[in-house]
Amino acid sequence: MSVAPPSPSQRQARSRYQRGMLAWLQQPGDPAGLPEMRAAVRHLEAAAGGDFAPFWHSAEVFLRAISDGTLAVDAESRRLCARIDLQMRAALNGSEAPEGGLAEELQQCIRQGAGQLPPVTELISLMAKPEAPDLDAEAVAAWSAAGNAAVAAWNGRGSGDLAPFRRALIDLCAAAMSLNLPETLHLAESLAGVGDRLDAPEAAEDPYLRAAIAAALELLGDTRDLGLPVFAERVAHVAQRLAECRESQRPAVSPTLLRLFAGEIGEQAALMRAELACLEPDGEALAESAHCLADHAAHLELDSAEALAQGLAAAIVRAQAGHGFDHPEVREALEAALAELDTMADFLLVAQPLPEATDILEILAQV
């Protein structure tokens, strides 16, 4: 049976998963990247069929258990998250069934709860369920509407107009006061506080700020736990993340992450070289690989690698619309950029500052 080629949205889902995993790995114990990872897996689950559908479901439950604190953030959970990424790559390359044993490992971790706890469902059944407070229905509806508006405004910020997002935060603060819950007001005020930083052009693209805001916006969509202790605990965690962004606290980039990114450079460069060797190279696939590297480099604040990958992606788009990939000057420029990416990977492996790629960028600009 032939396997249908993956859609662009499925490839984007893997990039989203990788972006979230980098954010999560960079700050152990911080679930900032987990919403991205879970959203990517949910997208694949919705589009999957056959043996893959239950696998993606198990992966999403596994990630949710980490997000909720049921599973510990340790070497084992990081290893399984990396294997989920590899399984995504295999699925996108045409694999008809998930890796044998991986789904069972995920399910076993969920059941054991970091090897110490009984299944989560059993624990929940033994716990006394707190009573939900009697909240005003109109106030809850206003909170939900303001949250939805904030999410929509943030997702639509590509035009650079952040005024709708700020207006939504003002409405969110008003709704929080109507609810009369300290934690909702705390969350709204924390979001409004980081909103002040968005006046600086570079702040809106700060990967740490984006991750913190994404984690806060995810809370806005869950009204079932309003007034319950679990919601207050989640707000306290997210508010701390937002406070760190306001104070511009930045952890050092992990050497392990740099080595992982060096490996990703090698993988994406190999994919691009293989595509260029085809009779009719797929420009969209080439540009996607370059954009993937640019996104990861931006998250790690590797400016020269980000600039090179962005320049490569732009040159690929121009080549596809112009001379094509067989033109000697185009091929020479793309090969030079790939060679420079290989050099940057070598620098990362020995923890050395990356070289500037000004000369290569000038060559790419001429394509």
The one-digit pLDDT tens for each residue of the chain (367 residues) are 445 677 777 888 888 888 888 878 776 555 567 888 888 888 888 877 677 888 888 888 888 888 777 777 788 888 898 899 989 888 888 887 787 788 888 888 877 764 444 444 444 444 445 666 778 888 888 888 888 888 888 877 665 667 788 888 888 888 888 888 888 888 888 888 877 677 666 665 666 777 778 888 888 877 777 888 888 888 888 888 788 776 654 555 667 778 888 888 988 998 899 888 888 889 998 999 899 899 888 878 888 999 999 999 999 999 988 888 888 889 989 998 998 998 898 888 877 888 888 888 998 998 8
Of the residues 126, 152, 172, which one is the last residue of a structural domain? Answer: 126
b (16+ CB within 10 A) / e for 259-274: ebbbebbeebbeebee
Residue 113 is which amino acid? G
State whether 197 and 225 are in the same domain.
yes
Closest CA to 13 of 88, 80, 63: 88
Statement to judge: residues 315 and 350 lie in one domain: yes
Task: Tell whether 233 and 272 lie within a shared domain.
Answer: no
Q: Is residue 320 part of a domain?
A: yes
Does the residue 61 lie in any domain? yes
**Domain count along the chain:** 3
Helix 328-349 with 358-365: angle, nearest 10 deg? 160
Do residues 45 and 60 lie in contact, with contact meaning Cβ atoms separated by under 8 Å? yes
Q: Specify if 2 maps to a domain.
A: no
17 lies in the same domain as 120: yes
Q: Is residue 201 domain-shared with residue 271, that is, in the same domain?
A: no
In this structure, the answer to whether residues 86 and 118 fall within a common structural domain is yes
Does residue 32 sit within a domain? Answer: yes
In a domain, 242, yes or no: yes
Residue 1 lies in a domain: no
- Considering the domain architecture, whether residues 120 and 164 belong to the same structural domain is answered as no
Residue that has been written with the tokens 């987990």 in this structure: 34
Predicted confidence at residue 115, as pLDDT, reads: 46
pLDDT at 130: 60
Residue 290, pLDDT score: 92
Domain boundary among 246, 269, 294: 246
- Domain final residue, candidates 209, 224, 246: 246
Range of the domain at 39: 8-126
Distances from the Cα of 41 to the Cα of 56, 63, 238, angstroms = 6, 9, 22
**Same-domain pairing of 83 and 171:** no
Instruction: Assess if residue 263 is contained within a domain.
Output: yes
Q: Alpha helix (H) ranges present in the chain?
A: 8-26, 34-47, 52-68, 75-92, 102-112, 120-126, 137-155, 163-179, 182-195, 207-220, 229-246, 255-276, 283-299, 303-321, 328-349, 358-365
Domain assignment present for residue 142? The answer is yes
Q: What is the model's pLDDT at position 311?
A: 93
- For residues 240 and 141, membership in a common domain is answered with yes
